[in-house]
Chain A
């Protein structure tokens, strides 16, 4: 069994890393400012849809065990289409990771390194992911299994330690700015489930491909629970985030945690955990992008690609002029990119692949029946 194969828990944690990394940035702010008091209802609503979509994806993958979306796209449209799909997913992964890196590092710079150039802060994370990927993918995955439960526990901790500050009435009016805004326009919030994109590439990486259903459903359900806790914490503590600083809302929430005069300023611990989660996220993105690149180019060794992809992420993250530009990507471009590429393109490819597969099976059965009938004819 190759070393890069991952187990069930590792795969679930891998998918969860994506949402944790995104939630540290302005994703919760976008949800709260768009759906206001209906944020929790909207998250529950999109969670149900996301679970249904992930089950549908599992069903579509059932006919293609140990194949990812790039392999499947080759069945649909040949090598050219496979390369096209591969490039689209690489662009999606690299672009989103690079701009998230920029947003995250901007926050770190504002908080702790005001006099340091942002390039150096980003370089540190990029060097970390290059080194992690050079070790082996299992190094990243195992680190993730240690770090992510701490981050998940952190959100529960945040929820329960701030419970005395909660104003549950803030979830009323329950429909926020109306049913249309919550349920129709609110569908764009499916972008919060960015982990679905990585599910497309999981089957070949799994130690036991029969656990794919379990992994898919548990990871999306866990993502939903995590999001509900995050949004509930922020909604019940703060009025709204539209007018507050551009620092991560979760970070702002951690500043409220105090246990008397003895135990204060826990935000530094949270930030340390989030930095580690973010490094794992970038490492996962880098690995998945290299996997796709290897598939479409057919190169035998991935190692020379590590530095190139690391530099690519760094270079793209340097493009935005300031935090406002990179944040506008996160709030205005990323949701549509995720829905377009992951939910529409991915599912359409899987649907066509299933149709092609069924046709192939039907044709094979027809040929078999014809041969069988021809064999039986002389006896008659």
Chain B
């Protein structure tokens, strides 16, 4: 009898834990997430931000490897980066996930105004990796994202990941990451730096 009670109680405990953890499982399930490859931040009217999210576009398995996917870019205007993420989450069917975000692009206009608030928001986000590159574009960030059409690389996510690798063999472009940028930003004797690009 005591074995029966023991087995039933173990079963109940397992059931309770399955139901408790299932909500986290479903919220972090790949089917419910949409991955952001790049974030572009531009200045907008009334001191607001124009935030563009570049989403991954999964190529169907049937299509050929050489087939290039069109970029999916969504833009929202919000008072802060967190608000922009919430806004997109509001109308997008899937939840935004920044864990594969490789590049953060700031327009020159907003960079000259100061980007510490945005960098703090990004570095405090557990999904953003410190190795994500930080770019300041001479043109509009959204325009820059639209213009990125790598000729040799088929996968845009791959391109974003490796484009700063050239810093290892040429001196034209530094490998500026958001982790290093943040470290330099809060250091009194350092100067943060980013990659400067123009299209």
Chain A residues with a Cβ under 8 A of chain B: 110-117, 120, 123-124, 127, 237-240, 243-245, 247, 252, 255-256, 258, 261
Bound-complex Cα distance A113 to B27 (A):
9
Q: Please name all residues of chain B whose beta carbon is closer than 8 Å to the beta carbon of A258 when the two chains form the complex.
A: 131
Q: Is the CB of A256 within 8 A of B130?
A: yes
Q: Please name all residues of chain A whose beta carbon is closer than 8 Å to the beta carbon of B170 when the two chains form the complex.
A: none
Bound-complex Cα distance A244 to B186 (A):
10
A113-B21, A239-B187, A239-B190 as given contacts; A245 in contact with B13, CB under 8 Å: no
Q: Mask for B101-142, Cβ within 8 A of A = 1, else 0? A: 000000000000000000010011010011100000000000
Q: Please name all residues of chain A whose beta carbon is closer than 8 Å to the beta carbon of B28 when the two chains form the complex.
A: 112, 114
Q: Is the CB of A244 within 8 A of B24?
A: no
Q: Is the CB of B161 within 8 A of A244?
A: no
Q: Is the CB of B131 within 8 A of A114?
A: no
Q: Is the CB of B124 within 8 A of A124?
A: no
Contact sample, A vs B, 11 pairs, CB 8 Å cutoff: A116-B23, A116-B24, A123-B17, A239-B186, A239-B187, A239-B190, A244-B123, A244-B124, A245-B126, A255-B129, A256-B179
The residue that B13 contacts in the complex, of A113, A117, A127, A255, with Cβ under 8 A, is A127
- Give B129 Cβ to nearest chain A Cβ, in Å: 6
Bound-complex Cα distance A245 to B21 (A):
24
Q: Is the CB of B186 within 8 A of A113?
A: no
A256-B179, A258-B131 as given contacts; A120 in contact with B186, CB under 8 Å: no
Q: Please name all residues of chain B whose beta carbon is closer than 8 Å to the beta carbon of A110 when the two chains form the complex.
A: 126
The residue that B186 contacts in the complex, of A112, A243, A245, A256, with Cβ under 8 A, is A243
Q: Please name all residues of chain A whose beta carbon is closer than 8 Å to the beta carbon of B161 when the two chains form the complex.
A: 261
Q: Is the CB of B20 within 8 A of A117?
A: yes
Bound-complex Cα distance A207 to B105 (A):
62
Bound-complex Cα distance A127 to B24 (A):
20
Q: Is the CB of A114 within 8 A of B190?
A: no
B: number of interface residues (CB 8 Å):
26
Q: Is the CB of B126 within 8 A of A261?
A: no
Q: Identify the closest chain B residue to A115 (Cβ).
A: B23
Q: Please name all residues of chain A whose beta carbon is closer than 8 Å to the beta carbon of B20 when the two chains form the complex.
A: 116-117, 120
Q: Please name all residues of chain B whose beta carbon is closer than 8 Å to the beta carbon of A244 when the two chains form the complex.
A: 123-124, 182
Q: A239-B183, A245-B124, A256-B131 are in contact. List 8 more A-B contacts (CB 8 A).
A: A112-B28, A113-B24, A120-B16, A123-B17, A240-B186, A244-B182, A245-B123, A247-B126
Cβ of B12 under 8 Å from chain A? no
Q: Identify the closest chain A residue to B26 (Cβ).
A: A115
Q: Is the CB of B24 within 8 A of A114?
A: yes
Bound-complex Cα distance A247 to B130 (A):
14
Q: Is the CB of B120 within 8 A of A243?
A: yes
- Give B116 Cβ to nearest chain A Cβ, in Å: 10
Cβ of B72 under 8 Å from chain A? no
Q: Mask for B1-32, Cβ within 8 A of A = 1, else 0? A: 00000000000010011001101101110000
Interface centre among B26, B130, B187 (most CB of A within 10 A): B130
Bound-complex Cα distance A219 to B13 (A):
38
Q: Please name all residues of chain A whose beta carbon is closer than 8 Å to the beta carbon of B124 when the two chains form the complex.
A: 244-245
Q: Is the CB of A115 within 8 A of B27?
A: yes
Bound-complex Cα distance A243 to B130 (A):
15
Q: Is the CB of B27 within 8 A of A114?
A: yes
Q: Is the CB of A115 within 8 A of B24?
A: yes
Q: Please name all residues of chain A whose beta carbon is closer than 8 Å to the beta carbon of B123 when the two chains form the complex.
A: 244-245
Q: Please name all residues of chain A whose beta carbon is closer than 8 Å to the beta carbon of B129 when the two chains form the complex.
A: 255
Q: Identify the closest chain A residue to B162 (Cβ).
A: A261
- Give B60 Cβ to nearest chain A Cβ, in Å: 24
